[in-house]
Amino acid sequence: MRPSLLNPLFAPVTSLPGVGPKQDKLLRYLLSRDETPRLVDLLLHLPSNVVDRRARPKIRDAVPGTVVTLEVTVDRHRPPPPRNARAPHLVYASDDTGDVVLTFFRAKPGYVEKLLPMGEKRYVSGTLQMYDGIPQIVHPDRVLDEEAIAKLSGIDPVYPLTEGLALGSLRRAIAQALQKLPPLPEWISPEVMRRCNFPSIAEALTRVHQPVELTDVLPDQPYWSRLAFDELLAGQLALALIRAQLRRPAGVRNAGDGHLRNRIIDALPYALTPSQRSAAAAIADDLKQPVRMLRLLQGDVGSGKTVVALLAAAAVAEVGKQAALMAPTEILARQHIKTIAPLAERAGMRVAILTGREKGKERRDIVTRLAEGEIDLLVGTHALIQDDVLFKDLALAIVDEQHRFGVRERLALTSKGEAVDVLVLSATPIPRTLVLTYFGDMDISELREKPAGRQPIDTRAVPISRIEEVMDGVGRALQSGKLVYWICPLVEESEAEGTEHLTNATKRFEGLQKRFGDRVGLVHGQMKGTEKDRVMGQFAAHEIGLLVATTVVEVGVDVPAATIMVIENAERFGLAQLHQLRGRIGRGSEASTCLLLYSEPLGEMSKARLKVIRETTDGFRIAEEDLKLRGEGDVLGVRQSGLPGYRIARSEVHGQLITQARDEALRILKDDPKLKGERGEALRCLLYLYERDEAIPLIGAG
Ligand code: ADP
Ligand code: MG
């Protein structure tokens, strides 16, 4: 149960005056929420910049092009003439050094008169411009009287916005939300408060939303850092709670004598790489230990994680227990089973797949065989965690691409057995500091080297103006029997407004089909699973040679014979995504080529990204460059990048805080594992505020 103290913060934003259904919709979009955001979501939406309105020159001294706040007397109004309603409403005002014109377009009748009453003194703030030699402010940002200006610092926060949402109305909503902030208990320990020089949560929120100094909104200052620490602490505490649960001593151990594993290794058409071997050995060792395994197997795309996962499953099958492998998408689950099934079969291991697609009798059969222990390894999607999917004796949960799964899903899978061991596969190379953020304290195995025989990928950037040459090249490649991916960013133009010029996969498909006939296929995210598989299957079987695709092929798709990839609008993709996409080629023994088609002119960031991707295929290096690049392009030092899944903490600014939050979380659980005391109560508040409360039910389960 959420502490009632927090209720005011969990009220919907629509409870604020001036926030109606239209704002609700915009705010959902802005704050990426499926439901009406709550006040807490507003408060955790931090400014990206500030406007400094403290300059208060006389009109004569005001510098054109700068933001100024003028103290003026209103002399005269000139509303638009009746027959020309589109003319601006002009207000003539002055101080003892000169005149200024305040210009309002499309103002409601009477509005400006009320805002700037004749003969009165007002403070008017905005960017000063010269127009025909006369100082002018068009649509002043603020018009204040004596009383109102006394309350303001003269520094206004600027927030990330979304089309249609006015800065002023967002600011007002946030200011109102701030008023509703209840007194909150302190959940950070006094030592950390002192060491990091943190303000209280109330002060932190107030100062970032109502800055007193220009620097107050910077992520590296104490106010933002305090909030980042809160967010990281909530994350680490949740992970630590899960870990405490998972790390309870396990009774019977799960590693067998190796007979299945040996048979699988014998059946492999290749030799395991040294890092595959040592990962498999580390896992086997974990499985023997009297505590549960929590291991992350990290390896770049194509590094061969699937076979390591299969060996882990085989180890538990050797003692008659079961394993589950959960993937985030159907394509990936099918990919796994395709690799796994033939090897498992030859070793005498029984495997099956369960996704949303298996229905009716087929599904019932699988569920029955699973419950009777006739399946050793079940591969699947979220379908694995449905209530009626019961194992006879689940001993190992393997989760692929785990950062796409929430805590809930992780727990749901591990709760289907007794003391289930956990192996996480991650294809996204995450720099070490970040591993902690997403997975907490885990043992890590890395697959650093690529399987032997891999050819380097020749990557080139080509302007879109040379697309004809590219098409000719693709034609020649098809002629000689090569398999080609053609990646486009979007399926339909309606998917994202304002991106009409982006190439549409369907259109590109039609164009290429005209040229190359039925050797062209199309897959995109909006197709049915079976349809996608059918096309992928045709591609793998060389029935089609050219596959037009959206980023659905980004993760895990494995057609080793494909050697060419064209990526359209490459400048639009992030580094990690380009790397993942390109990882679909260069998987076989033939040399591969990747062409990055870009539209000119290229921005600095896009240029830098394309350079990195051309220079290296090392996923870890790319991940690091990505972090560096995303840290740039900032105004006033306000970083634009974030940690996925984190709203406030930034990897490049708060890296230090990640380990501190981890240590604090571990100390907390050592002192008060049930979060019972006064501080425990406060920490529960923290978990709710940052939506990490999923871990709370675990405390009772101890
Ligand atoms: P990922 O780590 O991206 O999941 P996969 O497990 O899908 O990689 O493996 C990619 C490809 O490499 C597969 O076709 C697999 O059969 C092959 N492979 C895996 N290990 C080796 C190896 N040691 N030598 C050669 N090929 C390998
Ligand atoms: Mg894979």
What are 219-247's pLDDT values in tens digits? 999 999 999 999 999 988 988 887 777 66
Q: Which amino acid makes up residue 453?
A: G
Which residues have C-beta within 8 Å of that of residue 11, sequence separation ≥ 6?
38, 39, 180
List the beta bridge partners of residue 103. Answer: 90, 138
Pocket lined around ligand 1, Cβ cut-off 6 Å:
270, 272-273, 276, 299, 301-307, 339, 427, 451-452, 558, 560, 587
pLDDT-derived band at 435, boundaries 50, 70, 90: low
The answer on pLDDT for 678 being more than 50 is yes
Q: What value does the mean pLDDT take over residues 586-598?
A: 90
Domains and CATH numbers, the chain: 4-50+173-217 (no CATH), 54-151 (2.40.50.140), 271-447 (3.40.50.300), 457-616 (3.40.50.300)
Contact (Cβ atoms closer than 8 angstroms) between residue 558 and residue 337: no
Hey, which of 273, 306, 557 would you mutate to test ligand 1's pocket, going by the most ligand atoms within 8 Å of its Cβ? 306
Tokens standing for residue 426: 């991650």
Q: Report the C-alpha gap between 388 and 178 in whole angstroms.
A: 45
Helix (H, G, I), strand (E, B) or coil at 106: coil
Q: What value does the mean pLDDT take over residues 439-452?
A: 79
pLDDT-derived band at 658, boundaries 50, 70, 90: confident
Top-ranked range on mean pLDDT: pick from 233-247, 409-423, 596-610: 596-610
Q: What is the pLDDT of residue 506?
A: 87
Q: Report the C-alpha gap between 296 and 611 in whole angstroms.
A: 30
Hey, which of 264, 265, 270 would you mutate to test ligand 1's pocket, going by the most ligand atoms within 8 Å of its Cβ? 270
Nearest ligand 1 atom to alpha carbon 400: 4
The answer on pLDDT for 365 being more than 50 is yes
Q: What is the pLDDT of residue 633?
A: 31
Q: What is the pLDDT of residue 308?
A: 97
Q: Which amino acid makes up residue 13?
A: V
Contact (Cβ atoms closer than 8 angstroms) between residue 282 and residue 368: no
Range of lowest pLDDT (17-21, 237-241, 243-247, 315-319): 243-247
Contact (Cβ atoms closer than 8 angstroms) between residue 459 and residue 596: yes
The answer on pLDDT for 9 being more than 60 is yes
Strand ordering across the sheet containing 322-326: 351-354, 377-380, 322-326, 394-400, 421-426, 294-299, 443-447
The answer on pLDDT for 205 being more than 80 is yes
- Please give all residues whose CB falls under 5 A of ion ligand 2, grouped by chain where several chains appear: 556
Q: What value does the mean pLDDT take over residues 142-147?
A: 94
| H or E segment and range at residue 241 | helix 222-246
CB-based burial, 405-434: b 16+ in 10 Å, e otherwise: bebebbbbbbebbebbbbbbbbbbbbeeeb
Smallest CA separation from ligand 1 atom 20, residue: 304
Q: What is the pLDDT of residue 693?
A: 82
Q: What is the pLDDT of residue 643?
A: 59
3-state DSSP percent of the chain in helix, strand and coil, to 5: 45, 20, 35
State the distance from the centre of ligand 1 to the C-alpha of 558, rounded, in angstroms.
9
Q: What value does the mean pLDDT take over residues 448-463?
A: 86
Q: Report the C-alpha gap between 26 and 34 in whole angstroms.
A: 11
The answer on pLDDT for 66 being more than 50 is yes
State the distance from the centre of ligand 2 to the C-alpha of 407, rounded, in angstroms.
21
Range of lowest pLDDT (372-381, 408-417, 505-514, 619-628): 619-628
Q: What is the DSSP letter of 481?
A: T
pLDDT-derived band at 602, boundaries 50, 70, 90: confident
State the distance from the centre of ligand 2 to the C-alpha of 521, rounded, in angstroms.
23
Q: Which amino acid makes up residue 308?
A: V
Range of lowest pLDDT (211-220, 296-305, 373-382): 296-305
* Tokens 């090897």, residue located: 343
Q: What is the pLDDT of residue 460?
A: 96
Query: Cα angle at 425 between 342 and 404, to 5 degrees?
Result: 115
pLDDT-derived band at 634, boundaries 50, 70, 90: very low
Q: Report the C-alpha gap between 132 and 652 in whole angstroms.
A: 47
Contact (Cβ atoms closer than 8 angstroms) between residue 217 and residue 47: yes
Q: What is the pLDDT of residue 294?
A: 84
Q: Which amino acid makes up residue 219?
A: P
State the distance from the centre of ligand 2 to the C-alpha of 454, rounded, in angstroms.
16
Range of lowest pLDDT (201-215, 282-296, 427-441): 427-441
Per-residue model confidence as pLDDT tens digits over 458-499: 999 999 999 999 999 999 999 999 999 999 986 544 444 444
Phi then psi for residue 683, to 5 deg, are -70, -30
Nearest C-alpha neighbor of 101 from the set 133, 68, 135, 74 = 135
The answer on pLDDT for 546 being more than 60 is yes
Q: What is the mean pLDDT of the chain?
A: 87
Contact (Cβ atoms closer than 8 angstroms) between residue 528 and residue 466: no
Smallest CA separation from ligand 1 atom 25, residue: 451
Smallest CA separation from ligand 1 atom 10, residue: 302
Phi then psi for residue 213, to 5 deg, are -120, 155
Q: Report the C-alpha gap between 627 and 610 in whole angstroms.
A: 15
Q: What is the pLDDT of residue 641?
A: 41
